[in-house]
Amino acid sequence: MPYIPKFNVLFKILFRRQDPKAAEAIWLEGTWLHDQGDIAGARDAFHHARLLDRRFGGAFYNYAALTEKLKGPGPEALAAWEAYLAAASQDKRQATAAVEKVREHVANLKLRGKN
C-alpha cells in the first residue's frame, strides 16, 4: 500500500519547505512500515522524508537500499545511492565507514553497468 503523508506534510513538500523534525517522523514511519513488511510503502515514506530534509542521510540511505531491493541494481538504484552520498557529505550523523562502503558499492554498480 502506498504511503500517503498527512496534508500538512504534503503542503510543505509542495512548497519545498524544509522540516527536519517532520522528516525524522516520516523516517520513523518508514522504518515501522519496513518492519511490517511493506517495502513499497516504506520506500515512499523515505522518499517523502528526503524531500523534507535534503541533508538527512538516513532517509537517503534507506530509500536507496529499498530502491535497489525493489528495482534491482540498475540506473535508478545507482542514482539513489549517489544522492545518498551527496546527502551524507552534509550529515555529520553518517558514519565514515558506512559512507565508504556505499562508495565501493556505487563503484561496483557503475562497473556492472558498463558490462
Residue 2 falls within a domain, yes or no?
Answer: no
Q: Where in the sequence is the domain holding 43, given as residue range(s)?
A: 7-114
Predicted confidence (pLDDT) per residue in 18-42, tens digit:
889 989 999 999 999 999 999 999 9
Q: For residue 19, is it within any domain?
A: yes
Block residue for cell numbers 503542503: 11
Please indicate, yes or no, if residue 1 is contained in any of the structural domains.
no
Q: What is the DSSP letter of 95?
A: -
**Residue 71 is part of a domain; what is its CATH number?**
1.25.40.10
Tell me whether residue 30 is in a domain.
yes
In a domain, 17, yes or no: yes
Predicted local confidence at residue 14, as pLDDT: 61
Question: pTM of the prediction?
Answer: 0.87
The count of structural domains within the chain is: 1
Q: CB count, 10 Å around CB of 90?
A: 11
pLDDT value of residue 8: 66
- pLDDT, greater one: 104 or 17: 104
DSSP 8-state class, residue 90: T
Residue 96 CB partners (closer than 8 Å, separation 6+) = none
Q: Does 12 reside within a domain?
A: yes
